Every structure is written in structure tokens, then in C-alpha cells.
Chain A
Amino acid sequence: MVAYTVRRLILMVALLFALTAAVFFLFTLLPGDPARLTCAKACSPAIIEANRHRLGYDQPVLVQYGQFLGGIFFGRTFSSDSPQPIVCNAPCLGYSYTRHQQVLTLILNAAPVTFWLAVGAFLVWISISIVLGIFAALNHGHWPDRLVMGISLVGYSMPSFFIGLILIFFVVLRWNWLPFPSYVSPFDNPLRFLQTMILPWIVLAFLNTAFYMRLTRNQVLETFHEDYVRTARAKGLPERTVVVKHALRAGLTPLVTAAGMDLAALLGGAVITESIFSLPGIGSLAVNSVLQSDLPLITGITLFSSTLIIFANLVVDLLYAFLDPRVTIA
């Protein structure tokens, strides 16, 4: 188990290297001159060239990549020959010249917003979909099943920006039930935090709830027909034990994999939901960095999000081996 984990971690690092390289080189191929973006209206050819040199964009791409990697491990200093050098300590993911802040700082400021958004939505969608999915499976073929599946289909078909806008329009603007979303930390103002987050949670959970309801129902229905469930019944176990301990235990385990990966993906930024509710999370940051061709920020966010996903992959695999004795990891 330990050896397996160590091996997976090494693989993870290798994968991240490959990923940084891919992202870095891909973005250098994009049209547009990063040096041009540093001075906006003040640009003159001389300033652009000076900035190009100051930011290191005049170096070969490989050298730039080397500097980027070096920054992650040892830190680096930007504009070292200017009177005000910018010191970026390790792990340095770069420096955003459009925002004049370190990339890591930007990400760390945005991460809590996305964290609360993702975790809250996760709790909403997992609890609702498991309860309703099991309820549907237990009433297979009857009206509760059809109702739940109908809701699921509707949920599936509605894009989240549509639900988000509808909710904002009615709940916030028309009926004034909630103040307009504006993010505050739950530690500063818990009430305001909840008022802001409840709608994003619903919107973000919506699509996943539809999907997971269906998944739960199908999984549970499938295990009801398993031979070992029949055996449990033949042993004379109470129906509740048959359903919970034998059918659900086996039927819900595969959900762990799917849910873990989906949660990780959300932690890497929920672009649409964050944009609709103007939440300053990773998703919004990513969109803005792309719009501004902020190469260092794009690279940093990509690295951050993919680290989360790769790491979640490992956690989910370990967890699955723990839950299902047939899965051995070695």
C-alpha cells in the first residue's frame, strides 16, 4: 500500500512535468505578444522592447520554461536588473504583469471561494441524489420512480447558466428574497455567506444531482438482482439488512469513484457558476486570465487544477481498494 502510493506519487510528479511543458509551449504558440500586453495605452516600440527584455520574453522558449520550473523549486526574481526587482519565493508559479501580483497569491486568494462553492454543492447533490435515487430504485416501475427519473431528465436538459439566470432574476431581483450575491468569507459574515452561496450551490448541484440520481438508482436496481442479495434473503435476514448492508453497500461503492473525480474537477474551478454569480473563484480567475492572455496566470491555474484532479485520482483509487476487498493495489 505504501509502496503503491509512493509509486503513484512519483508518476504524478512526472505527469505534472509533462503537463506544465504542454501548457507552457502551447501558450507560447498562441498569437499575440505578451510584451505588448504589459503597457496598454502607454505602449511605444521602445517600451515594448524594454518590457520584453525585462520579462524574459526575449529568451528562447526552452530557457523560459527552465526559468519557470526553477521558480517552482527554488524561487526566482523578476526584473532583476531594474531598480525594483520582484522576488518570488518557491514555489513560484510566475508573476502576472497584467495584475501585478504573484500567480500563487492570486490562486490562493481565489481558492477558498471555489472550495466553499464546490464542497457545498457536493454535499447538496450527493445527499439529494442518493436519497432520491434509492427511493426510486425501491419503488422501481411505480410513480415515485417515474417522478424522480422525470425530474432527472429535466435537470439534465437545463443548462446551468439558464437555471442560474432564472434563479437570480426571480429570487434576487423580482422577489428580493436574497440580497445580490457578493462573496464574503464564512468566518467574517456567516449569514451573508449563506445568502450568497445558496443559489450557486443549487445551480452547481443541479446537473450533477440529475446525473447522480440516475446513477444511484441504476446501481441499486442492478444490485437488487445480484445473486448475493438473493442469498442474503435466503438466509432469512430482515429486509432492511438485505437492502442496506447487502444491496446498497455494493451498489453505492462505485459512486465513490465518480463523485471523487467530479468534486476534484469542481475544486479546480466552476467557470459558469462563478461567472453568473460573480464569485471571485478559480473559475472566474481562469476566464479572466484567458481573456487577458495572461500567460503566467493561465499556466499556474492549469497546473493547480490538474494537480487537484491527479491527486483526487490517487485518493479515489486508494479509497476504492479500501471499500472493495476484490481490488488489490500492489
Chain B
Amino acid sequence: MTGSSMAVEPPLLSVKNLSVAFPTEDGLVRAVDGVSFSVEKGKTLAIVGESGSGKSVTAQAIMGIIDRKAAKMTGEIWLDGQELVGLPAGELQSLRGSQVAMIFQDPMSSLHPFYRVGDQITEAISAHRSIGAKAARAEAMEMLRRVGIPAVERRIDDYPHQLSGGMRQRVMIAMALINKPALLIADEPTTALDVTVQAQILDLIASLQGEFQITVIMITHDLGIVADVADDVAVMYGGRIVEVAPTGTLYHEPEMPYTLGLLSSVPRMDRDVSTRLEPIPGNPPSPIRLPPGCVFAPRCKYADRVPDGACMTTRPELLQAAPDHLVRCHIPSEERREIAQGVLRVLTGGAA
């Protein structure tokens, strides 16, 4: 995000007014609607939201793996000075895996069941570089060692089903980083893993990020892991960003009621045991029939605080609440902060 305002370099990734819509028989599915954000080199941006909030589609748009025949895409995606939305398919293909790489939620289904893991990695190498089979294999072996695969000499010839879930995700990470990409998109990289393995994988990503100077976009629905890994957080809802802030700010001074709802539904160690987890009532909106006003308004406890029912009729803009802090909400800033502090006090049993 805008992280340190001292930055001289332009951000590595800058998404401007990105929209992705899929025409279907039931109507136009607006999966992503006017999303803008940027990430500076070497930083980690977490994109948080429920299923259907548009976070994965945003990631796939940046990867350039959205089927252009099936989707309407507008806006701009600038990666290291190059615009991606208008790029021909061939040039996008050469960027994928070399400049931008991605790891996915379920490493079991993301690795091809018919090919040895070593071959899948060397395939990624030779897609972008002319390199001999032996050298490619040596490189794959080195990378597998780096991501913490034991007995690499044997494991490199294993099939994915012969590895554990954590090992498979390590292989996915090795495969993603083999060409030293500038940007790594991790789409719920730990969701399918055991809790004990989750932390290992997150640590691994963090250490590789430092080593290879990689910028990371971490897509997750789990605010619990965001605090440990992200510099900035963008909260998405109904295909749009509703709040962006540095991680500390988002946790301690959230303003958007949806963010409050997310925070209230995460179990926390410092939570007062007498307060119960509070789920957000209702369901996410249908991307075909979005509410006319604020997309969160139908589920928002505080929507009636805004006069004239503006929450139900007018789309709020994403506006600056503080230098690094953008919020999409009709409630006046002062009042939002009051509400937020009240909620946080209840969450931590008055300690905050």
C-alpha cells in the first residue's frame, strides 16, 4: 500500500479501477468492481474478504489467467512499469511464472497428479529460459532444498500424492519462485493445511520474501494470519475494497463496520472469555444483484445512523480517513471511530 510515504520508487504493482465482470445467463456477474491499490517493492499486502468478495478474481486478473473470452475486464494493472490489462496474450504468458507467480489454496489438486514434482518444476524453468535438462534439474533440486524438502535426491522424483500436504505446498512455493519473480500471489496458501503446518508455510514465505526481495500479495479470509505477515491490509467486500490501512492501524483503529465484523468473528488470545464470537448477520450479496447503496448496508448494524437512508441508496466512495487509511463508509469519520473503539473494548474485555 502507500506504506512509507517516503518511497522514491514507484510501487511495484499498481491496480487502478480494475473491474472484472462475467456475462452469464442470469445476468452480469460483477466479480470485481473498481478496485484500486498498490504494493511497494518487497512489501506484503493482504487482501481479506469472505468467499465471493472478489479477492481471488483480483489475483487471477493480475496473473492474467482470466479467460478473456468469458470475462469483461477494464481498468489498469501496472507491474514494474508495464500495463497488463491491455497486453497481448503471448506477452502475458511470458510474464506469468517469470515476473508474477502464484501459489494456490490446495496443493494436492494444484500439482499435476501424473507428473513427478521435479519435472513439474523444471517445466516451469524451461518455459522461460533455455537451459539444459541437467542444469534445470540441479536448479530444481537446489530450490526444493531451499524450501525445506528433506532428502531432495529422492523426493524430486516423487509424485505429488507421495508427499504430505505441507510438502506439496513447499513444492508449489519452489515452483513459483524458481524463476525469481518480482511478485508472488499467495491465494489462501494455508487454508487446506493442518494448523501446525500453516505457521511453517507462512514463515517459509516470509523468509524467502526477504531472501529473494519478493513482493507478496497474500489473499486470505483469515484475519488471524494477516497480523503476522502483512504490512498493509485491504478488506474486500462485494467486489470492492471497503477499507485499506497498514496492518497495525487496521487492527487497532478500524473504521468500516464490515472490518469490525470480521475482527469480531476472529478468535483472539486477548479476547475476554466472557464475550462470545459474533458472526456478521446475513449473507454476502449476490454479485448479479448488488444492493443499490453501500454493498454492505443490508448487513450493517449502523446503517440507520446515516440520515435519509443514504446507505441504502448511494454508493459510498473510498475516501481518505488518515494519510494511509482509506475507508468506504457513509458514517462520519468521528462517529465511526467511536463505534470501533466501543466494539474493540468489548472484544478485549475493556483492556483496549
Q: Which residues of B contact A238 (CB under 8 A)?
A: 93, 127
From B63, B113, B128, give the contact of A326 (CB < 8 A): B113
Give complex CA distance A47, B96 in Å: 87
- B124 near A235 with CB under 8 A, answer yes
> Is the CB–CB distance between B113 and A324 below 8 Å?
yes
When the two chains form the complex, which single residue of A228, A230, A236, A246 contacts B124, counting CB atoms closer than 8 Å? Answer: A236
Q: Any chain A CB within 8 A of the CB of B112?
A: yes
Q: With A and B bound together, what is the CA distance between A231 and B107 in angstroms?
A: 10
Set of chain B residues within 8 Å of A3, measured between Cβ atoms: none
For the A-B complex, the count of residue pairs with Cβ-Cβ distances under 8 Å equals 69
Do A236 and B127 contact each other (CB < 8 Å), given the known contacts A227-B106, A231-B104, A326-B161?
Answer: yes
The answer to whether B93 and A239 touch across the interface, beta carbons within 8 angstroms, is yes
A73 to chain B, nearest CB (A): 43
Residues of B contacting A246 in the complex (Cβ-Cβ under 8 angstroms): 112
Determine if B113 and A250 form an interchain contact, defined as CB atoms under 8 angstroms apart. yes
Q: How far is the CA of A228 from the CA of B104 in the complex (A)?
A: 10
- B70's nearest neighbour on chain A, judged by CB, is A141
From A227, A228, A236, A325, contact of B95 by CB (8 A):
A236
* A233 contacts B65, C-beta separation under 8 Å: yes
Give a binary string over B64-101; 1 marks a CB under 8 Å from any A CB, 0 the rest.
01000000000000000000000001000111111001
Q: How many residues of A contact B (CB 8 A)?
A: 22
Q: Which residue of B lies closest to A142 (CB)?
A: B69
- Whether the Cβ atoms of A234 and B96 lie closer than 8 Å is yes
Which A residues lie within 8 Å of B89 (CB)?
A: 239
Judge if B110 is at the interface, Cβ distance under 8 Å: yes
Using A249-B114, A324-B114, A325-B161 as known contacts, say yes or no to A234 and B97 having CB atoms under 8 A apart.
Answer: yes
Asked if B297 lies at the interface with its beta carbon under 8 angstroms from chain A, I say no
B-chain residues with CB within 8 Å of residue A241 when the two chains form the complex: 127
What's the nearest-Cβ distance from chain B to residue A252, in Å? 11
State how many angstroms separate the Cβ of B119 from the closest Cβ of chain A.
11
Bound together, the chains give a CA A15 to CA B89 distance in angstroms of: 57
- The reply on A226 being an interface residue by CB < 8 A is yes
B102 at the interface (CB under 8 A from A): yes
B101 contacts across to A, CB distance below 8 A: 234
Give the chain A neighbours of B216 by CB distance below 8 A. none
The contact string, 1 if C-beta is below 8 Å from chain A, for chain B 206-222, is 00000000000000000
- Name A's interface SS: helix
A256 proximal to B (CB < 8 A): no
B-side contacts of A227, CB under 8 Å = 104, 106, 109-110
Cβ of B94: which chain A residues have Cβ within 8 Å of it?
236
Question: How many residues of chain B are within 8 Å of chain A by beta carbon?
Answer: 27
Contacts of B127 in A (CB 8 A): 235-238, 241
Closest to A232 in B: B112
Partner of B96, one of A228, A233, A250: A233
User: Cβ of B102 and Cβ of A236 under 8 Å apart?
Assistant: no
Establish whether residues A231 and B112, one from each chain, have CB atoms under 8 Å apart when the complex forms: yes
A249-B124 Cα distance, complex, nearest whole Å: 18
Interface residues of B in 137-190 (CB under 8 A from A): 159, 161, 172, 175
A187-218 residues with Cβ-Cβ distance < 8 A to B are none
Considering the chains assembled together, what is the distance between the CA atoms of A54 and B128 in angstroms? 81
By the criterion CB–CB under 8 Å, are A235 and B96 in contact?
Answer: yes
Docked pose: A241 CA to B112 CA in angstroms: 13
- CB-CB under 8 A from A250, the residues of chain B are 112-114
Smallest distance from the beta carbon of A228 to chain B beta carbons, Å?
4
The complex places the Cα of A327 from the Cα of B154 at a distance, in Å, of 20
User: Would A236 and B98 be within 8 Å (CB), given that A250-B112, A325-B114 are in contact?
Assistant: yes
Counting chain B CB atoms within 10 Å of each CB, the highest count among A226, A237, A253 belongs to: A237
- A121→B159 CA distance, assembly (Å): 37
| Cα(A232)–Cα(B123), bound, Å | 9
Given contacts A227-B104, A325-B114, A325-B159, contact A236 B97 (CB under 8 A): yes
Chain B: CB-nearest residue to A229? B112
Given the complex, which residues of A lie within 8 Å of B65, measured CB to CB? 230, 233-234
Distance of B239 from chain A, by nearest CB (Å)? 21
* Residues on B with beta carbons closer than 8 Å to the beta carbon of A239: 89, 93
A-B contact pairs, 17 of them (CB 8 A): A226-B109, A230-B104, A231-B111, A231-B172, A233-B96, A234-B65, A235-B97, A235-B127, A235-B175, A236-B93, A237-B124, A238-B127, A239-B89, A246-B112, A249-B114, A323-B114, A325-B161
Closest 5 CB pairs of A and B: A236-B97, A236-B96, A227-B109, A228-B112, A235-B97
Which A positions have Cβ atoms within 8 angstroms of B? Answer: 226-228, 230-239, 241, 246, 249-250, 253, 323-326
Q: A233-B65, A236-B94 are in contact. List 8 more A-B contacts (CB 8 A).
A: A227-B110, A228-B111, A233-B96, A235-B124, A237-B123, A237-B124, A250-B113, A250-B114
